Structures are given as structure tokens and as C-alpha cells.
Chain A
Amino acid sequence: MDFLHVLFVLLESTIRVSVPLVFAALAGLFTERAGVFDIGLEGKMLGAAFAAGAAAAVTQSVWVGLVAAVLVSVALSLVHGYASITQRGNQIVSGVAINFIVAGSTVILGEAWFRQGGRTPALAEGARFQTINFPGADAVREIPVLGPVYADLLSGHFLLTYLAFAMVPFSWWILYRTRFGLRLRAVGENPGAVDTAGISVIWLRYRAVICCGILCGFAGAYLSLAMTAGFVKGMTAGKGYIALAALIFAKWRPLNIMFACLLFGFLDALAIRLQGTPLPLIGQVPVQLMQALPYILTVVLLAGFIGKAIPPKAGGVPYVKER
């Protein structure tokens, strides 16, 4: 029973930490399937988290915060799009630049506007997301196994959490069952063919980049409006890169992304949980190893030792119309 209890606590925190990863990895899915590499997920998420925290603190409205997050994130995406689609610049360089610009400006602006050492003011109840409790959750909690599954795993999360997991099948549907999705995937594999079919490669890629911005906006809003009550400087703490790792680990497929994010989230939750406690059989595992595990796994996968991760063919290559 004690083991079960620990397991449920672990699974619950897994879900909590996976949400921003799911949003960000799906965001990356949209641009990368369209052939635009994006290592600026981290920066967009951070910018969105700051915008959400700042706007919600000023207006006391969680919805204004959410809209601000999405707007800022989309604006940053458009900068990336302008640099890598219109100007045909190096996509990696542009992503790196965005990460730095955001990392610096969130601190500078936060300090200038709120003077709390790079934080935004702590949000009151109305200005942040509240957990949603399903009917009867408390009543059934005592039922063994099924009770906690319903009460702790299914119920008691934020609206954005449910949205994140709903986005997984929705993204799949968009990418694999709509005309837009088909074209988006095609433009990531063979933009020349899409252009020949009379469809604008540029506009299609811009739309993919905007989708990425919206999803990164949700990821950031979750961090500062749901997970914590306010923005703290550098609060993404590498989550954007973990999401990128999850995206690759999932071989650029929506459903796999969810599982990869849950796996990486689980490792994260486990690392916190295991701090200092020895495991049976293995003995004490250094926390640092647990923290590095998502990255190590991604490297091993990329090296083709667990299956093969094949990126979209036209990824990272700006499209130049034949003259």
C-alpha cells in the first residue's frame, strides 16, 4: 500500500511536470515537420511565461495573462520565421539568438517593471489557474487503486493540463487528417514539390511557425499561471531543450511525443523523489545521473542504437525558388 501511495504521488507529479514538455514538444513538431528547425522553444516558453505572469499580475485576470503569453510567443516565432523563412538565415543561429534575447530581457524588464529581483508579483487566486476537481473525487478516493486513479490522476489538474493532453490527438488529427497537415508535412520533406503544386511554401511555413508560437505560449502560461503563481527568472530551466529532446526521441510523431514527455517527466519526478534514498539492488543513484538521463537517452537514440530517428528531409534548409 505504501508502495502504491508513492507510485501515485510520483505519477501525479509526472503529469504535472510533463505538461509544459507536451506543449513545447508539439510546438516543435509543427515547425520541424514543416522544415524549420527550432531550438528557440526554450526562449519562446520563457518569454510567454514572463508575459503571462506580468499581464496577469497587472490586470488580475488569468485570461489576459494567457492571451499575452500566446501573443508574445507568436511574435517571437514570427521573428524566427522572418529570419529563417524570409531572410533564409541559419535557423539554428536564429533560435539561439531568440533564447538569449528572451533570457536577458525577461530579467531586465521584470526588474524594471516590478522590482522584485526578476520575479513578477505573486498572483492572487483569480489571476491564476485553479485545479479542476471532478465530481465525487473526494468520495471515491478511499477505494483502493481505482479511487486514487480517479481522484489524483484524472481529477484535480489545471485546465491547461487537460488541454495539453487533448492537443496530442488534435495535433495528430491536424497533421495526418487535414489538407493543411498533409501540405505541412510535405513542405518539410520536399518543398519543391509543394511549390510545383502551386502552394506557397513561405506562407505554409509561416503558418507552421505561428502554430508553434501558440503552443509555446500555452507552455509558458502553464509555468507561470498554473504550476507556480507568478514568473521567476529563468523558470524554464532547460525545459525547452528537454522538449526538443522528447520531440526527437519521439521521432517527430504526436503520440510518441506524449509518451516521451511522460517518460522524461517521470525521470524528473523520480530524480526529485529519490534524492538521497538508496534503491534496492542498484544502491544509491546519483541525482545528476537521473537528471542527465533524458539527454543521454536522446543521444543514444539519435545514434541509432534504439531504432532510428529520421528528421524531416528538408529540415533546416531554407527554400529558394528555382530561377
Chain B
Amino acid sequence: MSTPYAKLPGWVEYGLIPLINLAVAFLVAGLVVLLVGENPLEAAYHLINGAFGRGEYIGFTLYYATTFIFTGLAVAVAFHSGLFNIGGEGQAYVGGIGVALACLWLDQMMPWYVVFPLAIVGSVFFGALWAFLPGWLQARRGSHIVITTIMFNFIASSLMVYLLTRVLKPLGSMAPQTRTFAEGGQLPKLDWLLSIFGLNIGTAPFNISFLLALAAAFAVWVLIWRTRLGYEMRTMGHSPSAARYAGISESRITVVAMMMSGGLAGMMALNPIMGEQFRMQLDFVQGAGFVGIAVALMGRSHPGGIIPAAILFGVLYQGGAEIAFEMPSISRDMIVIIQGLVILFAGALENMFRPAITRVFAARGQRAAALVQTKGA
């Protein structure tokens, strides 16, 4: 916060600047499409159509969005405490263990509404555990959280390959995945929610964990802006030295914030495992942990911004599949580029257009002030 920028109106700060950054990211992505020799407008058409064209498409869009709300919130909670949790990917992956264990244990005996709460607890526990270690190491041993969480992503990946190929795999099966869960391990779809709007969900795996994601977003808002712990976290995020003078325990906040972040990332595992595949597969996270970084940056770490940002990435994922289908030279990797560009322009270069915008508003403010003066005279 060392850069002195003039204060801007709220709608500019939280609306206009993110939108401009986003627009630039998409413009550059459009240039890449041009470079490949395709029409960006056509790509945009397929993107929108693929994401919203049918009830089924909308279902898929919201299914992806659910995942990204969880990982976005995870990154945001850590951001508020001044921590960069880049390990959402690994925490979500390990969180899957909790989901799988609950399902493997109870799916044949209990209905989903008994298994689901247990799976939530399991996912939060394992996700938080995987974030606890980096948090604790930062708090007590001073190791840099970014590096440790990166390392933990790789360790998680090796660990999960080991577990899925040796431990959790049913006997006699070759595929590195758990057995398919019975009914108790399958979450009900939210077809009724879409049918209110007259939409048919089709085969889309849009499920009840979407509501859990919304609840989590609300809970994060309450936590960060309405509780004492949230206040302490934000204090530490803004100024660690001020927090220290105020008697806030830095190591406690670091560990607690990281565990909450990891727990939220872990909850992401519910959506694909219990909502779509009904088993735990190798690499089920598929980069969602990293998308969370883009989502949190775009949403300015506020749940009210994270939900639309997550939906935008849901659109990219679902619509991107449609682009890949209609325009073979643009594969799904286009999404990865857009994701990177969003992270670059909404994150690292977030202040690039700020001086210009500030100048515009300063000029307007002066003119308005001058106007008031002349009228008064």
C-alpha cells in the first residue's frame, strides 16, 4: 500500500477498474485468436452460446462455477491475511481423500443427506490439514508460504498417485481411481432450481454443492467483515506491524487463515467427486486451484465479486469446450491463456490504468467544483 493513489469513487474502484482490466485481458486473448487465424468475434459467439445456449449448458457453466467459488474463496481468505496461498490445487486434491473416505464408508448404508455432511467435514479436515503444515511452517519456522505451498502441491500430487494406484483402488482394477459410489455417495442435482426458469438441466452435473458454495461465500463475508477474527485477519493483511502492536498473534492468524483457506479449497472436491464422477479419479482437480487465484484477484477478494468471477470462469470452461468443438484450431488451452491474462491484468498489472483513470476523475472533480463555485457567485 505504499503507492499513493488518489481515492476513487467506489463504483470506479470496484466496478470500472476491474472491468477495464478484464476487457484488456480479453482483447489480448482476441489477438491470440487472430494470430491463430480465426475470427475472435466468432469465438466469442461460440463462447456465449456454449455457456448459455441451452439449459444443459447453463447447468455445466454453474457446475464449473461451483468449483471456482470454493477455490476463489480459499485464495481470498488467505489474501485478506496477507498470505498468498498458491496451494489450493494440492489442498483440493488432498481434500478429496476426506470425501472419498466418507463415501466409501457409508454410501451403501446411508442416504446422501447423511453422507454429505460427513464428506464436508472430511474434505475440510484434509484440505485444512494440507494447508496447516505450510501455515505452521511459516508461523513458527519462518519458511515462505508461497514456496512451501508450491512444494506441497507437488507432494500432494505424488501422494495422491500413490494412494490411488496402491491403496484406494479396488482389487483387480487397473484404473487409478476408487470404486464408483452407490446412491448414498451421489449428490442430487439442482434440476428443480433450473426448471423454475423453464430450463432443462439435461446431463449437466449441476448439483447441491452449488448451494453449499453460496453458503460458504456468505460465511466468508460474515467472517471477514463481521467478526473479530476477520478484523484481525484484515489488520494483519494491511499492516503486520500494526497487528503486532495491537497484540494480534501473527502466528495464530497465519495458521488459522491458512487452515480456513485449505478447508475451503478442500470443499471443492465435493463437487466433482460426489456431484459428477461419483468416484475419486486421478487429477480430478484439473487446475481449479489455480483458477481460484484468477477468480480471487478478479473478484477483489470479496465474496460479492468472487461469485460473478467464478461464473465468468465457468462460462470460459463450458463455452471454451464449445469453441474447441466448433473451431478445432482453438483448443481448450485457450482458457489457460485467458486465465493467465486475467491474472496478469487483474493482478500484477492492476494499477496500470489507474493513473490515467485517476487523472480523468480528478479533472472531472475540479470542473464540478468550479461549476458549483460559479453558480454560488
Q: Which residues of A contact B (CB under 8 A)?
A: 37, 39, 79, 82-84, 87-94, 96-105, 107-109, 111-112, 238, 241, 244-245, 248, 286, 288-289, 291-292, 295-296, 298-299, 302-304, 309, 311, 318, 320, 323
Q: How far is the CB of B216 from chain A (nearest CB, A)?
A: 23
Task: Map CB proximity to A onto B133-167 as digits: 1 under 8 Å, 0 otherwise.
Answer: 00001000111101110111011001101100010
Most buried by B among A245, A299, A323: A299
Are B348's CB and A97's CB within 8 A?
yes
- A92: contacting residue among B86, B337, B349, CB under 8 A: B86
Give CA–CA (A289, B84) in the complex, Å: 27
A276 to chain B, nearest CB (A): 12
Q: A288-B158, A292-B155 are in contact. Are A101 and B329 (CB under 8 A)?
A: no
Partner of A101, one of B4, B144, B337: B337
Contact B340 A238 (CB under 8 A): no
Q: Would you call B6 an interface residue if the criterion is a C-beta within 8 Å of the partner chain's C-beta atoms?
A: no
Asked if residues B143 and A302 are in contact (CB atoms below 8 Å), the reply is yes
Q: Do A97 and B344 touch (CB < 8 A)?
A: yes
Pair B297/A93 contact, Cβ less than 8 Å = yes
By the criterion CB–CB under 8 Å, are A89 and B339 in contact? no
The reply to whether A304 and B143 contact each other, CB–CB distance below 8 Å, is: yes
Given contact pairs A93-B343, A93-B344, a sample of 4 additional A-B residue pairs in the complex whose CB atoms are under 8 Å apart = A89-B350, A93-B293, A292-B158, A302-B147
CA distance A83 to B349 in the complex (A): 6
Indicate if the CB atoms of B152 and A96 lie closer than 8 Å.
no
- CB-defined A-B contacts under 8 Å, sample of 21: A39-B146, A39-B150, A79-B344, A83-B344, A83-B348, A93-B344, A96-B86, A96-B290, A103-B333, A104-B338, A104-B339, A105-B32, A109-B36, A111-B331, A241-B151, A245-B147, A288-B161, A299-B143, A299-B151, A302-B147, A311-B144
Complex: chain A residue closest to B352, CB-CB: A87
**Which range contains the number of B residues in contact with the other chain?**
35 or more
A105 touches B337 (CB 8 A): yes
Interface of A is mostly: helix
Question: A245 touching B340 by the CB < 8 A rule?
Answer: no
For A248, what are the chain B residues with a Cβ–Cβ distance below 8 Å? Answer: 147
Are A320 and B141 in contact, with the CB atoms below 8 A? no
Cα–Cα, bound, A50→B187 (Å): 43
Contacts of A108 in B (CB 8 A): 32, 36, 329-331, 333-334, 337
Cβ of B366 within 8 Å of any chain A Cβ, yes or no, is no
Least distance between B35 CB and chain A CB atoms (Å)? 7
- Which A residues lie within 8 Å of B2 (CB)? 88, 318, 320
Q: Which of A39, A109, A295, A309 contacts B155 (CB 8 A)?
A: A295
Chain B residues, CB < 8 A from A91: 348
Q: Are B158 and A98 in contact (CB under 8 A)?
A: no
- Among A100, A245, A303, which residue has its beta carbon within 8 angstroms of that of B141? A303
